[in-house]
Structure 1
Amino acid sequence: MAVRWRNVVPLLALLVFAGADMDWSKCPQQCKCKWVSGRKAAECTNSSLNTVPDNLSTEIQILDLTGNPLRELPKDAFSLVNLINLHKLFLRDCNIEDLHKEAFRKLEILIELDLSGNRIHILHPGTFRENVRLRILTLSRNPIQKLADGLFNNLTFLQTVEFSDCQLSHIGRKTFMNVPNLKTLALDGNNLTTMKVESLQSLHMLNGLVLHNNPWNCDCHLQAFRDWTIERRLYAQPTACAEPPVLHGKLWSDFEFGRSCLQTPDTLSCTQEQQLK
């Protein structure tokens, strides 16, 4: 028995030493590790990091990398460094241009992701496929031009999506499929001229839709969507028209479409000017 204990004691000492060495609060020099709102957080802001730190504890739940020149997020950017227990991830103003569609793979309990103020041009369908618990997604101030079909499919916990001040000119009809809890969608400050009702009509919980500061063309192509926002009480000032010239600057609620704004299977045609209220 004594022989056995002589073998066990060194092993226990080694385990104790290893556990102490793995203390989550022992951060690399560029970061500060502390409790934030009851979660284990690593704040690594403005630290000249060009890659995701590989020496943080796997217990970290909040990671803030704001202001670092990351430039790209490759495949498995966080799971490869064992940061798979993240609840909140902040990547604001990181000069990110290349976002791999599997950069956030295995982050299955992520609830908030902020990618605002980067240089992301393209969001690939499936980018957030494994982030099944995601609730808040912020991508404002990125030069994104298109939200493709399938981008947000089956994100059943998603509640808030922000694309303010991007360069959006197109949103697919199947961009938001099976996103039953989306409540707030911000699309202000983009290049949207028209929109199809089909793009958003499945969002039955939507109660906040921000659309101002877009060059809306208030012709018959926009009629169904404009009417839908008003009927659903989603319209909010100062959403206004840029075109046609007769309606430039007019709020959506200040005019009615004429009866000759007729819809056909393939196109919409306008044969009568819109009527000001």
Structure 2
Amino acid sequence: MKGALLLFSSVSILLPCLGSCPKKCLCHPSSNSVDCSGQGLSKVPPDLPPWTLTLLLQDNQIHWLPALAFSSVSLLTTLNLSNNSLSNLASEAFYGLRHLQVLNLTQNSLLSFESSFFHSLPGLQELDVSSNSLSLLPTSLGKPWENLTLFAVQRNHLLQLDRALLEAMPKVRLVLLRDNPWKCDCHLLGLKLWLERFTFKGGVTDGAICRLPEPWKGRDLLSIPHELYQPCPLPSPDPVPSLVQQPDPAPQEAQKFPENNSGPQDPLECETKPKPKPTNLRHAVATVVITGVVCGIVCLMMLAAAIYGCTYAAITAQYQGRPLAPSSESEKMGSKEPMDSSPA
């Protein structure tokens, strides 16, 4: 009798802990799993057993998740929501799931998600959002996913992926990126550099196949040399300092130019009035004129030297044909020579 009473009391204590199983679901207390897949559900069942560790909700018609949608199963470690109609997630849809390790959101209609969706999932290890309509991912998560090892975004509409998002996953070892229309331009250079480092450290990826631009279509992002990327255009600076940096022969005037004009400067006006070209043209004309003057002076000097040489040669030739007149001293000496030669 006492044994029967003890058994009855034990069962009465355990029944509230076990909880009831939702309709259209199969509960397996031995494995702590609840299978509600393929039952045409439009929302998450509200009466899930609190001991649930694995919840299977795939192949249903759930189109959105409200806040605290899984508050009754705070011990959940695996959640499968694949092949539903999810297009909207409340910012606190996964709030309270601190022990969740595997989250499967494949084959839904998600357009984007914010980093706040996953702030309450510090223990997440595998995140699969493949086969959605994602065209934009958050640039950062606010805080790192310290335990995430798998990140899958295959078959979406992603053109870019910010490097900072991946850097917030220090333990990730498998990244799946295929079947996205990746635009392999300068904005994807950060992803390329991250993937190079990721694979060098032993990480595994299926590769990002470029859809755009046309020269890189069909090529793996990792096979394109980063030296061939066109640099991203920098934000246009203030036109005033750009004038000061130009090789202007009068830099002081360029610095005074913005002070004299009180109104805002139009960048097009500044670009259509470049000063170096007219200055270089004036320098070129002045150089030609000076060179011509110098050449003319040299030619005149050479002509004068030639005339002087010809005149000097003519005068010399004229005097070589005549005997020079004897000087008075030579005449006197010549007249005295017979007297000196006569005998005494």
- Report Cα offsets for 1:62-117 as digits up to 9, x if no partner: 100000111123xxx44xx2622210100010111132122111422110000000
Structure 1 residue corresponding to 2:212, chosen from 243, 246, 252: 243
- Report Cα offsets for 1:124-158 as digits up to 9, x if no partner: 22221200000000000001010212111152211
- Whether contact under 8 Å (1:33, 1:40) holds in the other structure is no
- Whether contact under 8 Å (1:114, 1:139) holds in the other structure is yes
Q: Which runs of 5+ in 2 are unaligned?
A: 237-344
> What secondary structure does 2:103 align onto?
strand
State the partner residue of 1:148. 114
Q: Distance in 2 between matches of 1:241 and 1:93?
A: 32
Q: Distance in 2 between matches of 1:64 and 1:220?
A: 46
State the partner residue of 2:30. 40
> What secondary structure does 1:206 align onto?
coil
State the partner residue of 1:160. 126
State the partner residue of 2:248. none
Q: CA deviation at 1:254?
A: 1.7
Q: Which has the larger radius of gyration?
A: 2
Q: 1:240 to 1:135 in 2, by over 3 A?
A: same
Structure 1 residue corresponding to 2:198, chosen from 223, 227, 232: 232
- Whether contact under 8 Å (2:63, 2:85) holds in the other structure is yes
Aligned length in residues: 231
Q: Distance in 1 between matches of 2:55 and 2:102?
A: 10
- Whether contact under 8 Å (1:217, 1:243) holds in the other structure is yes
State the partner residue of 2:308. none
State the partner residue of 1:212. 178
Q: CA deviation at 1:230?
A: 1.7
Q: Which has the higher strand share?
A: 1
State the partner residue of 1:134. 100
> Does 2:33 match 1:62?
yes
> What secondary structure does 1:67 align onto?
coil
Q: 1:19 to 1:108 in 2, by over 3 A?
A: closer
Bigger drift between 136-145 and 220-229 goes to: 220-229
TM normalised by structure 1 equals: 0.72
Structure 2 residue corresponding to 1:125, chosen from 87, 91, 94: 91
> What secondary structure does 2:30 align onto?
strand
> What secondary structure does 2:60 align onto?
coil
Q: 1:188 to 1:259 in 2, by over 3 A?
A: closer
Q: 1:254 to 1:125 in 2, by over 3 A?
A: same
Q: Distance in 1 between matches of 2:67 and 2:99?
A: 17
Q: 1:120 to 1:218 in 2, by over 3 A?
A: same
Q: 1:264 to 1:96 in 2, by over 3 A?
A: same
Q: CA deviation at 1:217?
A: 0.4
- Whether contact under 8 Å (2:104, 2:129) holds in the other structure is yes
> What secondary structure does 1:199 align onto?
helix
Which amino acid is 1:114 matched to? N
Which amino acid is 1:151 matched to? F
Q: CA RMSD in A?
A: 3.3
